[in-house]
Amino acid sequence: MSVLKNKVAFVTGAGSGIGKAVALLYAKEGAKVVVSDVNDAHGQAVVDEIVGQGGDAYYVHADTARPEEVENLVAKTVEKYGRLDIACNNAGIGGEANPAAEMSIDGWKKIIDINLNGVFYGCKYATMQMLKNGGGAIINMASIHSITAVPGSVGYAASKHGVLGLTRNFGVEYASQNVRVNAVGPGYIDTPLLDMLGDDKKKALEKAHPIGRLGTSEEVANLVLFLSTDAATFINGSYFNVDGGYTAV
């Protein structure tokens, strides 16, 4: 299949984990993909992998906490491929872990800058470009903690709750102009980031999912892909869990 043939997409935080899986799947399905990350070596490695598999990809460094770098990402995408059809605002961090009242001001600002402001910048500049070429699809990476608390990580919970508000507003405001904006809420996904927690914590997280295991980046990417295609043209301003039943309990 090539459900994204002739489409142009960018993915932020695409140097590893979920972002990498999304970029690889987009390319497999025929899209021209702009891979973006703050880790240039990782980002370029994803581009090299896509090109090695016969795909078309290009790397652009972008710190999503900086609006001018996100604006440049969109500009470089259009400069390279002539248009923008799909944007996956995936970049994010876990941030500082402390009781809510003890979270540092710098820690709060950092996670809001990346996880919330960065998604706003991605939506803003992608939408502005998509309006020029007749529309497009934006997928924002939310979280199961967009609808649940995270004891010890108030910044993460607040930032991901905010992503839902952004998603709904952009989706509603630009629906009549053929720009669709949706959010995906992954459960705990088996990425290198979770390896830092240790085996006992990982096992506890596995048990928190009724399916009895952690998710994979590819499982999240499959949902992102669907929302990016013309099969999802009546879906807008919505949020979808991919969490093995975590939020159903």
Q: Which residues are catalytic?
A: 156
Polymer length in residues for the chain: 249
Instruction: For residue 79, give Cα distances in angstroms to 24, 60, 74, 84, 211.
Output: 21, 12, 9, 10, 44
| Cα R_g (the chain), whole angstroms | 17
CB neighbours of residue 106 within 10 Å: 9
* Other beta carbons within 10 Å of 17: 21
Asked if residue 143 lies in contact with residue 160, where contact means CB atoms within 8 angstroms, the answer is yes
Check: CB of residue 236 under 8 Å from CB of residue 217.
Answer: no
Q: How far is residue 134's CA from residue 201's CA, in Å, rounded to a whole number?
A: 47
Q: What type of residue is 83?
A: R
Tokens of 126: 């992608």
Angstrom distance (rounded) from CA 24 to CA 14:
9
CA distances from 199 to 94, 146, 189 (A): 18, 25, 14
